[in-house]
Amino acid sequence: MSPRGVAIPDVRERLFAAAERVLAREGTAGLTNRSVTEEADCAKGLLYNHFADLDDFVTQLVLDRFARIAAEVGPLPDRAGSGSVHDNLTGAALAMLGTSGPAIAAAALSRNQVAQRVARSWADGTPGPGAVEDAMTRYLEAEQRLGRVAPDADCPMLALALTGTVHHLLMHPGPQPQAPEPLLRRLVTALVTTPPGPTAAP
pLDDT at 3: 42
Each of the 202 residues of the chain gets a pLDDT tens digit; together they read 444 444 445 889 999 999 999 998 998 889 999 999 999 998 888 899 999 999 999 999 999 998 999 999 999 999 999 999 999 999 999 998 876 777 888 888 888 899 899 999 999 999 988 899 999 999 999 999 999 999 999 999 999 999 988 888 877 766 555 677 888 899 999 999 887 655 455 5
pLDDT at 53: 93
pLDDT at 5: 43
DSSP designation for 125: T
DSSP string, 156-191: HHHHHHHHHHHHHHHH---SS---HHHHHHHHHHHH
